[in-house]
Amino acid sequence: MMVVEFLPFALVVFTLVGAFIMPFFARWFTRGCIPLTLGVLGLDIFMAVTLLMGVMNRGPVAYYIGGWAAPWGIEVRGDGIAAIMVLLISFIMFCTMVYGASSIEKELPAGRGGWYCSLLLLISAGMMGLVVSGDLFNMYVMIEVVSLSSVALVLAKGGREVLPAALKYLLLATIGSGFILFGIGFTYILTGHLNIGFAAAELMASGGDYPYLSWVSLTFLVIGLGVKAGLFPLHFWLPDAHSTAASTSSAVLSGLVVKVYAVVVMRLFFQLYSSELLLATDIDRILLVMSIAAILAGSLFALIQKDLKRLLAYSTVAQIGYIFLGISVFSILGLEGAIFHIVAHALMKSMLFLAAGSLIARAGSRQIEDLRGFGRVMPFTAGIFSLGAFSMIGLPLLAGFISKYLLAIAGWDSGNYLVLPLMVISGLLNAAYYLPVIRVLFWAGEKELPLRGEMEFGRVFALGALALGLLVMGVIPEAGRNFIQLAASWLWG
Amino acid sequence: MDDFIIRKTFRLVIIFLLLYGIYIIFHGHLSPGGGFAGGMIMGLGFIMYLLVFGGNLGRLPINVAILLVSIGGITEASKFLIGKNFPATQTPGSLFSIGIGNLVNLGIGLLVAATILGIFYLEEK
């Protein structure tokens, strides 16, 4: 069947065309913007499910844009990780947009709703293009699309508070892009190819003759992508940007954008560079140390936050550490844990940010202390928040438990015995900063509370859909895990 | 910018400016340049025209920019859906020799021109 091969690419172009015609609607038919965005993203989900089923039946597919064959043309890969990520991106974007249908008009300055929809479609197209791309330069272009639109997502809220955060984000994202471009340039000098498959074959054949050049390209790529993904010592733009943005922006940025760069790192490590080259550079040890530092430092920083969204943002710093930990143990099981954690964390973090957005909108303040007792006012939203927090801590029956379990086993199997106690310690640290928030939400004390009442139906529905996804991933993990296992083994090669 | 000399000169220059932009767009496969560079020149031509003659056009430039972005985006995306050999390629070196590529260059040119126009006028709406 030709259709499955064409799908990963059709998804990107379809979403991109949606983003291009959205300004027309924003200018003349403002009421049509949100239904149109929902329609585009809904069709994306449909196409992504079809792609996932097709890939599961037939194995990885490749499509060459415009019919030009591989070394010259652009290759679009529909392998396991691409299918998983595309489905995840369209699902989370759809839920965020359902939530946003009632929140965008309230959180953003008047008249920006339609343009914001265009931006959301643009960033989904960029992320989808990034995960399906099999060509280094195409990857760079998509990285630029994602970075610039994520800066614009931060900036969309307007006001004094977001300006410094967005400026910091813009500067560091640009520096990261520069590093990535240098890395790709060195790879091109070394191999003469931009297609990942051809460059990998060339590196395998002659990469050992030029060790320093390949190390330099690897260093540039890892630092550039580390800045973008917010890996620990390079994370300092992340809390500002993710905590000041509007709640839908935060959900997208924290749930998806930092993850797609981790997917790019996986592609580069396991499909471009050979494992001998990587192990010769000790990059696995370096990444292991960085990710352990990220897990501990992110959790410790989160522990002292008074601001709910900053707490969630620092928690993201810690969770990025888990994903890179899974990459750095260099085994199929570790990769599986990393992919599982990408999916689980995308679900729970976007859920947490959206629930926090509802609570904050009702309370009118981001300080945790001002939210005291709001669990009584909005029981469903606060319950969803608690569910996400429990999953983050790693309680069984929730998706966060499965990914931590997989990562701990993977660390033990590969001889990194410290990973297992680290998982326990980080789970305790997560409990130490999430449980006080839940306590503050549900134990009102003597405070006078507003009348009980949930937010609009759209917000509640989006939170419910995300929570359902989280429960399905946690209670019957085998359904998702079989395919994630397959995807990890394909990526391993 | 109400200046006699500028108005007289620019009336002559603008035709060549836009023509040069279109030339660069359509010769993208033969010489340096292409959709991006040509679109940039066209966009700058629009901006200069509006600076010299357009006193109070209101929101017209931004509306034009929005329409051009939609049209250019759809044109540009169309290349992905149509194969490389449609319409059949001609003798190498002639003007319309790369099939769908010419249309795509035009789409990119429109996108860039509209973006330049939009960026310039966004603050004036």
pLDDT in tens, A357-375: 988 888 888 888 888 888 8
Contact by Cβ (8 Å): A269, A327: yes
Give the pLDDT confidence score for residue A128 in this predicted structure: 92
Q: Which of A374, A428, A404, A237 is nearest to A314 (CA)?
A: A237
Considering only residues A106 and A391, tell me which one the structure prediction assigns the higher pLDDT: A391
Kindly state the average pLDDT of the residues B1-8.
80
Residue B55, pLDDT > 70, answer: no
Lowest mean pLDDT among A180-189, A331-340, B74-83: B74-83
How many Cα atoms within 13 Å fall on the side-chain side of residue A345?
Answer: 29
Report the gap between the CA of A259 and the closest CA in chain B (Å): 27
Report the gap between the CA of A104 and the closest CA in chain B (Å): 21
Kindly state the average pLDDT of the residues A143-158.
90
Q: Is A20 on the interface with B (CB under 8 A)?
A: yes
Give the pLDDT confidence score for residue B88 in this predicted structure: 63
Residues 442-471 on A with a CB inside 8 Å of B are none
> Alpha-carbon distance A385 to A459, whole Å?
13
Strands A61-64, A75-78: pairing kind: antiparallel
The domain locations on chain A are: 282-493
Q: What integer best gives the mean pLDDT of chain A?
A: 88
Residue A493, pLDDT > 90, answer: no
Between the alpha carbon of residue A395 and those of residues A341, A402, A427, A434, B97, the distances in Å are 14, 9, 9, 13, 63
Between the alpha carbon of residue A443 and those of residues A247, A353, A381, the distances in Å are 25, 21, 15
> Alpha-carbon distance B53 to B4, whole Å?
11
Report the gap between the CA of A167 and the closest CA in chain B (Å): 18
Give the pLDDT confidence score for residue B84 in this predicted structure: 60
Chain B environment of A27 (Cβ under 8 Å)? 62-63, 66
Residue A192, pLDDT > 70, answer: yes
pLDDT in tens, A167-181: 999 999 999 999 999
Q: Is B63 on the interface with A (CB under 8 A)?
A: yes
Q: Is A46 on the interface with B (CB under 8 A)?
A: no
Give the pLDDT confidence score for residue B124 in this predicted structure: 56
Q: Do A68 and B84 touch (CB under 8 A)?
A: yes
Q: Is A72 on the interface with B (CB under 8 A)?
A: no
Name the residue among B63, B80, B85 with its Cβ closest to that of A13. B80
pLDDT in tens, B75-101: 877 776 666 666 666 677 777 776 677
- In the chain, the amino acid numbered A374 is F
Residue A1, pLDDT > 60, answer: no
How many A-B residue pairs are in contact by the CB < 8 A criterion? 40
Lowest mean pLDDT among A2-16, A96-110, A427-441, B85-99: B85-99
Helix (H, G, I), strand (E, B) or coil at B121: helix
pLDDT in tens, A453-466: 777 888 889 999 99
> Alpha-carbon distance B100 to B96, whole Å?
9
Chain B environment of A17 (Cβ under 8 Å)? 73-74, 77
Q: Which of A388, A316, A401, A379 is nearest to A354 (CA)?
A: A388
Report the gap between the CA of A12 and the closest CA in chain B (Å): 10
**Minimum Cα–Cα distance from A76: chain B residue:** B80
Between the alpha carbon of residue B12 and those of residues A146, B44, B111, the distances in Å are 42, 16, 26
Q: How many CB atoms lie within 10 A of CB B122?
A: 11
pLDDT in tens, A224-283: 999 999 888 888 889 888 888 888 999 999 989 999 999 999 989 888 887 777 777 888
Give the pLDDT confidence score for residue A209 in this predicted structure: 81
Name the residue among A23, A24, A66 with its Cβ closest to that of B80. A66
Q: How many residues does chain A have?
A: 493
Give the pLDDT confidence score for residue A456 in this predicted structure: 80
Chain B environment of A141 (Cβ under 8 Å)? none
Helix (H) or strand (E) holding B40: helix B35-52
- % of chain B residues with pLDDT over 90: 3
Report the gap between the CA of A114 and the closest CA in chain B (Å): 12
Kindly state the average pLDDT of the residues A105-118.
84
Q: Do B77 and A24 touch (CB under 8 A)?
A: no
